[in-house]
Amino acid sequence: MMKTLKRRRPFFMVAAVLGGALILAGCSPVGEQPSVSTASQACSTPGITAGEVRLGFLMSESGAGASMAQPFRAGIDARLGVANAAGGVHGRKVTYVWRDDESASAVNLASARQLLATDDVFGMIEASAEAFGSSALLHSFGIPVVGIALDPSWASNDNMFTFTNMMANNSSISTWGDFVAAQGGRRALIFKPIFSAASDILAMKMSDSLQAAGVAVVGNNEISPMTLVPAVIGEQIRATAADTLIFATDAENSYRIVAAARAAGAAIRVALVPPDGYDPRALHEWGSAIAGTYSYLPITPFEVSTPVYRGFFNAMAAYSAQLQPPNQTYAAEGWIAADMFLRGLAMAGGCPTRAEFISSLRSVQAYDAEGLLPASLNISTSVGEIIRCLHFVQVTPDGTHFTQVTPTPLCGRRLATNN
């Protein structure tokens, strides 16, 4: 078993998708808005008043998942800032109350109960790898939840909406394997953190994908929270004659292992790290040591100039200027989570109920986040369905920036599995 440092980030970003900007980008609004007088009608739904929609925000501000909290919240603030500046949704300002689940499932459950009973929120946005702690409770009460899928609960609850699902039951995608094979990868080592059920699922799906493309998997290695000895792990990788490193763990440890393998002289042709590796701060930290490394993304890369990206950056400067640099994947996740919630609120009408929100948003058959999703998302059929289209970026030879590998996303086929 190979060892490395303690995890500092969630095992993958999975996903970093942007929603459509509004006024700052000149893009379409979230929906047809009635007059303010319509919004002033009496509504009995929790979290809905004449002038406000109050949401709950469950995040891991402390613990193992803490690195995502600040940028994710900044993305939410930017998206809601744009919406509220344009009059809100149906004349109501959209606000939120947040709770820290401390990266613990029991605290996630307790925090969800507080948000419902004490703060009287309408629905939830979540950025936590511990969402399964409260998923049964929120499903039983029909509470709408929008966020990033970092555990299997997102694949089995129809009240939970995500744009990053890789936790689907009994299926994988050929996308990872197709990409690795196209880059010349033939023998792969997979790395995952120890004691992480979600990472186990992702590693298995990536293994299925690689083998379907004819790439041999020569090791599936757990990463323990023990100190990494670069010379040791590098020699272990070199001894396997692997030419491909695949990571179902956080980007920090992924890059550390890549650097160790290269220092040991391992002939690595393909190193594929999770979406949170697509971060300018990683370039500053690692530089040329991670040159040539690939990341897979469920978004159109930041390097592509589009009106929505311009709107995103303008909104970040206006409402979340404290986050620098703004082109961080978790900020994009917060933006799209807020955007999806706004879409559901707009569709649910002037006096929305939770059930109307869920049925309305679930009826959407084509959602592409103003063109920033690699492929249009059919929300009506997305429960338990793994996304299959990904973009790929690569660190340049000098380690100073990312480049887009291909101008279009790679959309693989779905694979049946036994897991």
Query: Is the pLDDT at 314 greater than 90, yes or no?
Result: yes
Enumerate the CATH 3.40.50.2300 domain ranges in the chain, comma separated.
36-164+303-381, 169-297+388-416
Average pLDDT of the chain, as a whole number: 87
Q: Taking phi first (over 0 means left), then psi (-120 to 50 degrees means alpha), and beta for anything else, what does residue 181 get?
A: alpha
Are the C-beta atoms of 406 and 310 separated by less than 8 Å? no
For residue 351, give both structure tokens. Answer: 């006096």
Pairing of strands 244-247, 3-4: unpaired
Which residues are bridge partners to 59 per DSSP?
A: 100, 127
* Number of Cβ within a 10 Å radius of residue 29: 16
pLDDT digits (tens, 9 = 90+) for 226-254: 656 778 889 999 999 999 999 998 898 99
Q: How confident is the model at residue 298 (pLDDT cuts 50, 70, 90)?
A: confident
More confident residue, 62 or 28: 62
Q: Read off the pLDDT of each residue in 71-95 and give the average, rounded to a whole number.
A: 97
Respond yes or no on whether the N-terminal peptide bond of residue 325 is cis (omega within 30° of 0): yes
Q: How confident is the model at residue 322 (pLDDT cuts 50, 70, 90)?
A: very high
Q: Percentage of residues in the chain with pLDDT exceeding 90? A: 69
Q: Domain 36-164+303-381: give its CATH architecture.
A: 3-Layer(aba) Sandwich (3.40)
Which residues are bridge partners to 126 per DSSP?
A: 58, 147
Query: Is the pLDDT at 1 greater than 50, yes or no?
Result: no
Are the C-beta atoms of 369 and 155 separated by less than 8 Å? no
Q: CA neighbours within 13 Å on the CB side: how many for 409?
A: 20
Residue 405 CB partners (closer than 8 Å, separation 6+): 294, 391, 392, 393, 394
Q: Find the range with the poorest average confidence among 41-50, 67-76, 134-143, 291-300.
A: 41-50
For residue 39, give both structure tokens. Answer: 């919004």
Class of domain 169-297+388-416: alpha beta
Q: Which of 355, 311, 316 is nearest to 334 (CA)?
A: 316
Query: Is the pLDDT at 180 greater than 90, yes or no?
Result: yes
Are the C-beta atoms of 101 and 132 separated by less than 8 Å? no
Q: Read off the pLDDT of each residue in 90-109 and give the average, rounded to a whole number.
A: 96
Name residue 53's amino acid.
V
Which residues are bridge partners to 219 per DSSP?
A: 189
Q: Read off the pLDDT of each residue in 31-51 and give the average, rounded to a whole number.
A: 66
User: What does the alpha-carbon distance between residue 128 and residue 134 come to, in Å, rounded to a whole number?
Assistant: 11
Name residue 118's amino acid.
T
pLDDT digits (tens, 9 = 90+) for 163-175: 988 887 678 999 9
pLDDT digits (tens, 9 = 90+) for 378-399: 999 988 889 999 999 999 999 9
pLDDT digits (tens, 9 = 90+) for 20-35: 333 343 344 444 444 3
Q: Which of 260, 197, 238, 218 is nearest to 3 (CA)?
A: 260
Are the C-beta atoms of 97 and 54 separated by less than 8 Å? yes
User: What does the alpha-carbon distance between residue 337 and residue 161 come to, in Å, rounded to a whole number?
Assistant: 9
The pTM (predicted TM-score) of the whole model is 0.87
Q: Which of 277, 404, 377 is nearest to 18 (CA)?
A: 377
For residue 106, give both structure tokens. Answer: 């029991």
b/e per residue, 249-272, with b = 16+ CB within 10 A?
bbbbbbbbbbbbbbebebebebbb
Pairing of strands 270-273, 244-247: parallel
Helix (H) or strand (E) holding 53: strand 52-59
User: In the block, which residue shows the tokens 């978790």?
Assistant: 330
Q: What is the pLDDT of residue 16?
A: 33
Angle, CA 31 vertex, CA 37 and CA 26 arms, to 5°: 110
Angle separating helix axes 175-182 and 197-212, nearest 10 degrees: 50
Residues 307/326/374/274 CA torsion (nearest 10 deg): 170
CA distances from residue 47 to 43, 56, 87, 120, 121 in whole angstroms, order as listed:
9, 9, 18, 5, 4
DSSP 6: P
Which residues are bridge partners to 125 per DSSP?
A: 57, 146
**Coil, strand, or helix at residue 138?**
helix
